Structure 1
């Protein structure tokens, strides 16, 4: 059975819509407390600072998954339960998510619970060879922390914020990671010393929402990744839809203003030119006379800054219009919005819904739900873990 959840510096998303991320972070603290030695629930509460009721709920959940076992004991003269972390069984798999300024790595066994996880900051404009070397080194460190060897890894999935040509296995990195343009799956495999599966990050977000989120029974779903660019992962009829050669879901290049700004793709008025985090940050940087980050946008909007809220609302309306265009063709049951601004909750989602209702077919406005991700910034790496696990299981039958 799997022996735990995440460790490391996992940020806790405090928005009400991010309870899944909060639960995951609390589970991580409990598992980390048990890695040194078994403990009673009272001792776990003391080590983690969590409430006794929270610890009790987490221990019950982990016991149901087989991640921990409990047995009667006596603690300070009272009957108690001793909680022991079980060793992982099954193949070890790795999910890796590269972004414009980060790489997140997660190691898991054959179970939905992640063993170890960490994020490393990368410089803007990072080159593939340098970043792959950093990721490979950090992976070795995480495996050592988990008491595992590189040879125990059965499968690795690497996600990137770029379209991927499935015919050649090459990254089409002309937009978010231009430095990675033309990098192939084989080249990435060489960096990790074993074959890897390469996937688009928005596709991985869609996979994660069904595997780790609340939508395992939803067969028609769109995951929208709002970041430096805007992409979407499409699940149609219960299967991930990548298109004829892998680039389906480029929502950021849906045209919303024919006379708009020239886009890097060569068209004009693409959604990314109006509503990406990069464009929002540029607009606000001009207003405030200083560089603005995605974290600044979240902080300022939550604090009630009118300029920031206006930028978010305008972007949300444009995103809603583009989602409506996609929904009119695909009729999804759920659209999940993720990315660094998901923490804004309804400040972002309400204008998205307004834009959607204006341009979607009436039947869709009453049947398609638009919600925020409960997985926070972990959605893409959890999708990579899921895809790696599927690859490991498929290989076992070959």
Structure 2
């Protein structure tokens, strides 16, 4: 039984455990050093919010694994240790499969992006064909960037659908129905010839926010991805939350209207039937000579088109209503919205906030920040890198 993406239970920390929290804290320290350069341990404690004892223990382990080094310095007239990252030739890969794309990013353990590639895929792409495309893209990236295959310590992979971590397979309800029942990890490891760690794309988006984004010190965060499907990733008490089988955050299948349309999951009136980009495009393409794209929807909204703004407002209110039910239960500090509609900014965020405030307990609705992700459409691939790095040999086990 897998308790965490891509690893057997005996080798993987259970999400929410002390081991998972330690990995999260390690990534927080690395990200802080990457952004600020060398810092004393006292400065790291101040920047990250971690205790000095936690900083000291993790820094010792990072030095032992060759990820960091320390040297004596003076801070405020007192002797101290300055901590610096050591650049290594190794990299991790982050692979994001979408409904119609695959993106690969290579980055160092110090969170420095080394190479990136994006390719469009046909809607309804088969797993074996898309995996072969990703393998070819990786080979091309390595050749172009001069990185040897032996330097790639592993790959994190995101897919737009729930993954049962007991079996490692995509289950019913995924945006890619052609991938249902596929053992993602096994097939990707054969194609890529390296360790692979797979997860739902929204979970990886949440992980990216607290490792690459500006929310690295947030301990309770919800990442909401609005695209062809709608999913949520959770960071609770500083660690990714996966629940019993790994199937969490399926907010797109939360019923909003009892008499609504039948959803692809089999239920009626789910959030995805009223607020996904696919539904927006369907509504706004009526009477058009050709179906609109997400870019068209964004452009029309930016130009003030009344019909487009109404569709976005209705969708945002529905999202806010669904989010309110989650917020009432877990009381997140912040809800970060991502996905292809991110350029809309406040045009989308404002109705989500209204729906949240209207349907949540007042103290929760008014006390929860709703913000747009700054990572754009790279969030899932960046989160996949964080997942791979957390299991890399550069990180203490």
TM-score computed with the length of structure 2 as normaliser: 0.77
Aligned-CA RMSD value? 1.9
CA contact (8 A) 2:153 2:195 kept: no
Structure 1 residues 65 and 150 mapped into 2: Cα distance closer, same or farther (>3 Å)? farther
**Unaligned residue ranges in structure 1 (runs of 5+):** 1-60, 67-86
The residue aligned with 1:165 is 164
The CA deviation at 1:264 is: 1.1
The CA deviation at 1:90 is: 4.7
The CA deviation at 1:132 is: 0.8
The CA deviation at 1:88 is: 5.0
Q: Which runs of 4+ in 1 moved over 4 A?
A: none
CA contact (8 A) 2:115 2:141 kept: yes
The residue aligned with 2:241 is 241
The residue aligned with 2:256 is 256
User: C-alpha separation between the residues in 2 aligned to 1:273 and 1:65?
Assistant: 49
User: C-alpha separation between the residues in 2 aligned to 1:142 and 1:239?
Assistant: 31
The CA deviation at 1:190 is: 1.1
CA contact (8 A) 2:162 2:174 kept: no
The CA deviation at 1:393 is: 3.5
CA contact (8 A) 1:173 1:180 kept: no
The residue aligned with 1:197 is 197
User: Aligned with 1:139: secondary structure?
Assistant: helix
After TM superposition, the structure 1 = structure 2 runs for residues 346-357 of structure 1, keeping only pairs within 5 Å, are: 346-357=346-357
User: C-alpha separation between the residues in 1 aligned to 2:174 and 2:260?
Assistant: 18
CA contact (8 A) 1:91 1:392 kept: no
The residue aligned with 1:111 is 110
User: C-alpha separation between the residues in 2 aligned to 1:298 and 1:65?
Assistant: 41
Spell out, residue by residue over 1:328-355, the C-alpha distance to the aligned partner (whole angstroms, 9 max, x if none).
0110000000000011000100011111
Structure 1 residues 304 and 192 mapped into 2: Cα distance closer, same or farther (>3 Å)? same
The residue aligned with 1:278 is 278
The CA deviation at 1:128 is: 0.8
The CA deviation at 1:194 is: 2.2
**Unaligned residue ranges in structure 2 (runs of 5+):** 1-33, 40-85
The residue aligned with 1:7 is none
Tell me whether 1:98 sits opposite 2:105 in the alignment: no
User: Aligned with 1:120: secondary structure?
Assistant: strand
User: C-alpha separation between the residues in 2 aligned to 1:115 and 1:323?
Assistant: 36
The CA deviation at 1:154 is: 0.6
The residue aligned with 1:344 is 344
User: C-alpha separation between the residues in 2 aligned to 1:204 and 1:210?
Assistant: 10
CA contact (8 A) 1:97 1:381 kept: yes
TM-score computed with the length of structure 1 as normaliser: 0.77
Tell me whether 1:139 sits opposite 2:144 in the alignment: no
User: C-alpha separation between the residues in 1 aligned to 2:174 and 2:367?
Assistant: 33
User: C-alpha separation between the residues in 2 aligned to 1:247 and 1:63?
Assistant: 36
Spell out, residue by residue over 1:53-100, the C-alpha distance to the aligned partner (whole angstroms, 9 max, x if none).
xxxxxxxx989489xxxxxxxxxxxxxxxxxxxx95153110000000
The residue aligned with 2:359 is 359
The residue aligned with 2:128 is 129
The residue aligned with 2:69 is none
User: Aligned with 2:392: secondary structure?
Assistant: helix
User: Aligned with 2:129: secondary structure?
Assistant: helix
> How many corresponding residue pairs?
318
Spell out, residue by residue over 1:194-224, the C-alpha distance to the aligned partner (whole angstroms, 9 max, x if none).
2210110000000000111111111100000
User: Aligned with 1:366: secondary structure?
Assistant: helix
The residue aligned with 2:299 is 299
The residue aligned with 1:6 is none
Structure 1 residues 343 and 147 mapped into 2: Cα distance closer, same or farther (>3 Å)? same
After TM superposition, the structure 1 = structure 2 runs for residues 372-391 of structure 1, keeping only pairs within 5 Å, are: 372-391=372-391
User: Aligned with 1:286: secondary structure?
Assistant: coil
User: Aligned with 1:215: secondary structure?
Assistant: coil
Deviating more after overlay: 152-161 vs 287-296? 287-296
CA contact (8 A) 1:90 1:110 kept: no
The residue aligned with 2:174 is 175
The CA deviation at 1:364 is: 1.1
User: C-alpha separation between the residues in 1 aligned to 2:282 and 2:190?
Assistant: 37
User: C-alpha separation between the residues in 2 aligned to 1:354 and 1:326?
Assistant: 15
User: C-alpha separation between the residues in 2 aligned to 1:196 and 1:101?
Assistant: 21
The CA deviation at 1:172 is: 1.5
User: C-alpha separation between the residues in 2 aligned to 1:147 and 1:312?
Assistant: 44
User: C-alpha separation between the residues in 1 aligned to 2:211 and 2:37?
Assistant: 17
User: C-alpha separation between the residues in 1 aligned to 2:172 and 2:114?
Assistant: 31
User: Aligned with 1:307: secondary structure?
Assistant: helix
Spell out, residue by residue over 1:226-267, the C-alpha distance to the aligned partner (whole angstroms, 9 max, x if none).
000000001111111111001110010111101111111111
